[in-house]
């Protein structure tokens, strides 16, 4: 049975889950537009992003990191005592994910993108976000590998039926994408399987929003 939580924890869990869902869906729509060439790139997963593409894709991704971390911390408060080993491992992994992607995306949005837009590319080469072939792309998929592990551990927090079962399966499915996220630098085709994140992650965060919405507090039965 899940723990009773304070009204403030319930609010933090609910709204962070809602925001994580929104930011992830905005990113998914932006990524589809990028792959279709609507943001100025050549299209497809191996094309370089334009400055517009960097803003459209990385702005929601930056905020997603913060929302996900708050969500995982909230789940830790909800977890029963015998399940907290899983939730606290998830907090640690989510913290690493948030740190990695926040540094990456902030650099892209505030330094790389503006210089690309101005045509000032001298010395920028090591920091350009090149799919499958750059330092920062490797950092990015490492970050999302930690996110995948975090959701895998969170899946073991929920043992009930109904929406808990749905959350468990979405979280587990997102966690099982780990090898397809982590190894795509070697085998590029894996990105197509990893793209199932567009379903598994929003499904995870939305079902968690429902759980927090229904979560009992000490003032309720």
| Per-residue DSSP letter, 81 | G
Question: Could you give the number of structural domains in the chain?
Answer: 1
* Residue 200 maps to a domain: yes
Please check whether residue 19 lies inside any domain of the structure.
yes
Encoding tokens for residue 18?
């809602």
**Is 112 within a domain?**
yes
Report yes or no on 38 lying in a domain: yes
Taking residue 42's Cβ as centre, other Cβ atoms within 10 Å add up to 9
Residue 108 domain boundaries: 7-214
The CA distance from 60 to 201, in Å, is: 14
- Give me the pLDDT at residue 29, please: 97
Structure tokens at 44: 């497809």
Return d(Cα 117, Cα 77) in angstroms, integer.
44
Distance (Å, rounded) from C-alpha 59 to C-alpha 221?
A: 40
Helices (H), the chain: 7-35, 51-78, 84-107, 113-118, 135-154, 163-175, 178-182, 190-194, 197-214
| 220 located within any domain | no
In a domain, 83, yes or no: yes
What pLDDT score was predicted for residue 217? 81
Closest CA to 57 of 77, 80, 41: 41
Q: Report how far residue 53's alpha carbon sits from residue 40's, in angstroms, rounded to the nearest whole number.
A: 7
Q: Note whether residue 113 is domain-resident.
A: yes
Q: Are 41 and 48 in contact (CB under 8 A)?
A: yes
Per-residue confidence (pLDDT) for residue 221, from 0 to 100: 45
- Assigned domain for 2 exists: no
* Torsional sign, CA 146, 151, 155, 158: positive
pLDDT tens, the chain, 221 aa long: 888 899 999 999 999 999 999 999 999 999 999 999 999 888 899 888 999 999 999 999 999 999 999 999 999 999 999 999 999 999 999 999 999 999 999 999 999 999 999 988 888 888 888 899 999 999 999 999 999 999 999 999 999 999 999 999 999 999 999 999 999 999 999 999 999 999 999 999 999 999 999 998 886 54
| Rounded-to-integer distance, Cα 97 and Cα 102, Å | 8
Q: Which pLDDT does position 83 carry in this prediction?
A: 95
Tokens of residue 114, six digits: 């503006």
CA 172 to chain centroid, in Å, comes to 14
């Amino acid at each position: 049975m899940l723990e009773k939580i304070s009204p403030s924890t319930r609010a933090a869990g609910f709204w962070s889950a809602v925001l994580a869902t929104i930011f992830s869906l905005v990113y998914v729509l932006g990524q589809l537009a990028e792959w279709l060439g609507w943001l100025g790139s050549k299209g497809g997963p191996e094309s370089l992003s334009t400055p517009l593409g960097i803003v459209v894709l990385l702005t929601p991704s930056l905020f997603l990191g913060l929302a996900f971390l708050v969500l995982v911390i909230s789940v830790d408060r909800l977890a029963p005592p015998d399940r907290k080993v899983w939730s606290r491992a998830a907090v640690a992994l989510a913290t690493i994910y948030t740190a990695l992607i926040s540094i990456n995306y902030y650099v892209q949005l505030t330094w790389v993108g503006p210089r690309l837009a101005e045509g000032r590319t001298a010395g920028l080469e090591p920091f350009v976000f090149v799919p499958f072939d750059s330092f920062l792309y490797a950092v990015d998929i490492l970050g999302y590998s930690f996110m995948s592990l975090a959701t895998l551990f969170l899946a073991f927090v929920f043992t009930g039926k109904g929406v808990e079962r749905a959350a468990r399966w979405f979280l587990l499915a997102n966690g099982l994408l780990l090898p397809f996220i982590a190894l795509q630098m070697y085998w590029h085709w894996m990105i197509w399987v990893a793209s199932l994140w567009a379903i598994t992650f929003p499904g995870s965060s939305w079902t968690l929003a429902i759980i927090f919405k229904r979560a009992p507090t000490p003032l309720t039965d």
